Amino acid sequence: MRKKTQVADVNRSLYDIKDKFEYSFKTDGLNEDVIREISAQKNEPDWMLEFRLKSLGIYHKLDVPPWGPDISGLDIDNIITYVKPKTDLNVTWDDVPEDIKNTFVRLGIPQAEHKYLAGVGAQYDSEVVYHSVQENFRKQGVIYLDMDTAVKEYEDLVRKHFMKCVPPSDHKFAALHGAVWSGGSFVYVPAGIKVEIPLQSYFRSNAPGAGQFEHTLIIVEEGASLHFIEGCSAPKYSVNNLHAGCVELYVKEGAFLRYSTIENWSKNMYNLNTKRAIVEKNGTIEWISGSFGSKVSMLYPMSILKGEGARSDYTGITFAGEDQVLDTGTKVVHAAPYTTSNINAKSISKSGGVSVYRGVVRVLPNAHHVKSSISCESLMLDSDSRSDTIPVLDINNDEVDIGHEAKIGRISDEVIFYLMSRGISEEEARAMIVRGFAEPIAKELPLEYAVEMNNLIRLELEGTIG
């Protein structure tokens, strides 16, 4: 009998470990009292409470977008918006409670820290429980804190930037985030400092029905550089989960920031995340984005190229399997002359999965000498799946050089034939091609993440694809 091969679904056994559900405080529903309670628990300054209440008002006014994936399965009023785990902020690994620690151990975080990373910000449910940053960076003035602490310790800096890049009025889930945000990372890199080793935040949510609303705020000052890695995974539960995080990046003059993400939420998660960068003169933002998990994703990292010579690079891969709708892409606004953007998006759909590239490149009237290059490639592994490409080019100046290319197709028979003529089996040839398709993303990631990504796209080399 002929053996069948298939591209394996992501093996989730590692990620689907549930711990006993324990909490010291939780809230149901979404109203003003809940917001006041969250703020009081956090002992926040008054302006933040006011900000939360204002955002709640906006949330109730805005509608759910009429475009994009179906998110009607999401019942927001039944989502426990905030779950505080039974531990306070810890500075050393030894202080972290055993069950929480075990979860992290299984995800390989401490090893990662020792081997590769400058600091670890691990988020357990909604509260940051573990945080460290290497001593030499602290001496250089690099600040790496959980967001809740930053609000108190660096109040002025936070207040000046918090949800200024992504205002709560942006869309319904940004407003929700503004109202109930909790945890996340705050990074400040002073002028001229090059952070050589990637900073990593590995967080996960754990409580049934818990929303994850972490806020990431990164400021890279003039001439400084940083590589920040965000990774997420969550155990699988029957209750639908919502992730509505927010990432705000400020890249100052001549600064460089690479923001890498492997999103690997469990397949019941609605991942409605908002990420945005404002890039000043000659600054660079690089987005590396891998989307593998979640039931529904709507994720479009946005770059606002505000200063002359600013640049944005986006490299993204999306792998949609059974019962997944992954609607991802990027938005670029060229708001100044001599700005450049490069977009390289790839997607794979299999077993009824739906992957969508959705993006826009907008050139404002004053932005002359703009260059933009967009490439979207999709691979369908069977005909139960879907793959859609929905790009927009919106050009309001004539001194531009814009090119867009999109391709969809199957694995080419000619290539298979060629590889087979070199003595490679058909099955192996197909597997090689799928791996090769994802290669441009993998090579942009640190080794550990590349390995994780390759595991996610792990191919079983027996049988045929599709």
The β-bridge partners of 377 are 346, 407
Identify residues 159-198 at the interface with other proteins (CB under 8 A).
Answer: none
CB 231, CB 449: distance < 8 Å: yes
Nearer to other proteins, 273 or 387 (CB): 387
Q: Which of 26, 152, 159, 404 binds other proteins (CB under 8 A)?
A: 404
Q: Which of 74, 105, 360, 424 binds other proteins (CB under 8 A)?
A: 360
Q: Which of 382, 426, 428, 439 binds other proteins (CB under 8 A)?
A: 382
Q: Which of 388, 426, 428, 439 binds other proteins (CB under 8 A)?
A: 388
Nearer to other proteins, 24 or 396 (CB): 396
CB 343, CB 361: distance < 8 Å: yes
CB 396, CB 364: distance < 8 Å: yes
Query: How many whole angstroms from its chain centre is CA 424?
Result: 37
- Phi-psi region for residue 51, left (φ > 0), alpha (ψ -120 to 50) or beta? alpha
Query: Contact letters (x/-) for other proteins, 55-94, by CB under 8 A?
Result: ----------xxxx--------------------------
Residues 295 and 292: their CA atoms lie apart, in Å, by 10
DSSP class of 454 = H
Distance in Å, CB of 323 to other proteins, minimum? 16
410 binds other proteins (CB under 8 A): yes
Nearer to other proteins, 140 or 397 (CB): 397
Nearer to other proteins, 274 or 284 (CB): 274
Nearer to other proteins, 49 or 408 (CB): 408
Residues 258 and 280: their CA atoms lie apart, in Å, by 15
DSSP class of 255 = -
394 binds other proteins (CB under 8 A): yes
Q: Which of 57, 399, 417, 451 binds other proteins (CB under 8 A)?
A: 399
One-letter amino acid for residue 217 of the chain: L
DSSP class of 33 = H
Within 322-425, where are the H helices? 413-421
Distance in Å, CB of 302 to other proteins, minimum? 10
Residues 352 and 386: their CA atoms lie apart, in Å, by 7
Q: Which of 400, 424, 432, 461 binds other proteins (CB under 8 A)?
A: 400
Q: Which phi and psi (to 5°) does residue 419 adopt? A: -60, -40
Of 128-136, 181-189, 252-260, 405-413, which segment contacts other proteins by CB under 8 A? 405-413
Identify residues 303-332 at the interface with other proteins (CB under 8 A).
Answer: 331
CB 131, CB 145: distance < 8 Å: yes
Distance in Å, CB of 377 to other proteins, minimum? 10
Of 172-180, 188-196, 396-404, 414-422, which segment contacts other proteins by CB under 8 A? 396-404
Within 170-240, where are the H helices? 172-180
The β-bridge partners of 80 are 210
Distance in Å, CB of 202 to other proteins, minimum? 31
CB 174, CB 162: distance < 8 Å: no
Distance in Å, CB of 400 to other proteins, minimum? 6
Identify residues 124-163 at the interface with other proteins (CB under 8 A).
Answer: none
Q: Which of 365, 421, 423, 443 binds other proteins (CB under 8 A)?
A: 365
Distance in Å, CB of 271 to other proteins, minimum? 18
Beta strands in 325-452 (DSSP E): 325-328, 331-334, 340-349, 354-363, 370-380, 386-395, 400-409
Q: Which of 89, 191, 197, 408 binds other proteins (CB under 8 A)?
A: 408
Q: Which of 383, 421, 422, 443 binds other proteins (CB under 8 A)?
A: 383
Distance in Å, CB of 362 to other proteins, minimum? 7
* Residues across the chain: 466
Q: Return the closest-CA partner of residue 455 out of 288, 233, 122.
A: 233
* H or E element at residue 32: helix 32-42
CA-to-CA dists, residue 463 to 71, 266, 418, 426, angstroms: 35, 27, 19, 9
Of 106-114, 282-290, 382-390, 425-433, which segment contacts other proteins by CB under 8 A? 382-390
Nearer to other proteins, 108 or 352 (CB): 352
Q: Give residues in contact with other proteins (CB under 8 A).
A: 65-68, 331, 358, 360, 362, 365, 368, 376, 378, 380-383, 385-410, 466
